[in-house]
Amino acid sequence: MIAYDPLNKRLALFQQQATPDFWDEQWNKEDLKKNISSGKTHHFIKHFTQSYIAPGGRILEGGCGTGQVVYAMSSWGYDAQGIDYAQKSVATTRALIPSLQISVQDVRATTFPDAFFDGYWSLGVIEHFWEGFAPITNEAHRVLKPDGILFLTFPWMSPLRRMKAKLGRYPRLEPHTDFSNFYEFMLDKGRVVHELEAQGFACVETYPYDALKSLKDELPLLRPLLQKLYTSKSPFARATRLVLTVLFARLCGHMILLVCKKSSSTSR
């Protein structure tokens, strides 16, 4: 079920709580070695990382899962580390690749010293916390150096979703809603940026993406056709997904990336 929260201008998806056991189970279904090595194909992450951080820079991924992005950034010449709370997944990856710098930690309270990292990647993490994401981004601010870069992605309350909410196409989120099966929010970009600015970040770039997922989720009549296109691995399907992202991402991208810089002053 998806419900609209008018107070915070966001959508809430209820299906299954995103616990450590949930993620361990999801990642256990995959070929781990293949999953980790696939990180090097994330050209989107490589492009933005190299655009803002010089090779050799120290980068943390908060919510690293099986470590595929950490592995990729290490292969691109960065001093990459990752943390996650899914203990079994982290242990399995470390047993497979002992040199990979990943550990079990809470993204809201890490063991790293202040101003330790040049960059921080958070890929689809903050939306899973019912109580809000401020502790996560506050901690990211603490461990980043002055002028350090936060790369933050989350499901986005796009213009398409805002229009559907205005037309009453989603049920309202009620105060007494049982959130025991809460999975994620689709967040309002303006509100996220406002909170980040209050913490000492400046948003320097935004990049919406994954328009095809949003189209198939939000347009039920086209879902069967778009679902086939979304899951296909053919070159035609990949090219089509890229074209759709270029054409429609700013209207209906499922996800959005915020590139934010920590103030050069250490004071808030």
Mean pLDDT of 162-172: 96
Whether residue 217 contacts residue 203, with contact meaning beta carbons closer than 8 Å, is answered with: no
Determine if the pTM surpasses 0.85. yes
Three-point CA angle 218, 259, 104, nearest 5°: 85
Could you give all domains of the chain from N- to C-terminal order, each with its CATH number? 2-210+255-262 (3.40.50.150), 211-252 (no CATH)
Confidence category of residue 26, pLDDT binned at 50, 70, 90: low
pLDDT digits (tens, 9 = 90+) for 173-194: 988 777 888 999 999 999 999 9
What was the pLDDT predicted at 30? 61
Q: Which two tokens stand for residue 34?
A: 């293949």
Confirm if 65 and 89 have CB atoms less than 8 A apart.
yes
* Mean pLDDT, residues 212-226 taken together: 87
Residue 268: per-residue pLDDT: 47
pLDDT, tens only, 46-63: 999 999 999 999 999 999
pLDDT (mean) for 109-121: 98
For 139-163, write each residue's pLDDT tens digit.
Answer: 999 999 999 999 999 999 999 999 9
Q: What gap in Å lies between CA 9 and CA 223, rounded to an integer?
A: 25
> Per-residue confidence at 39, pLDDT binned at 50, 70, 90?
low
If you average pLDDT over residues 108-126, what whole number do you get? 97
Residue 224's CB: how many other CB atoms inside 10 A? 9
Comparing CA positions, the residue from 120, 118, 121 lying closest to residue 145 is 118
What average pLDDT does range 31-49 have in this prediction?
80
Cα–Cα dist 253/156, whole Å: 7
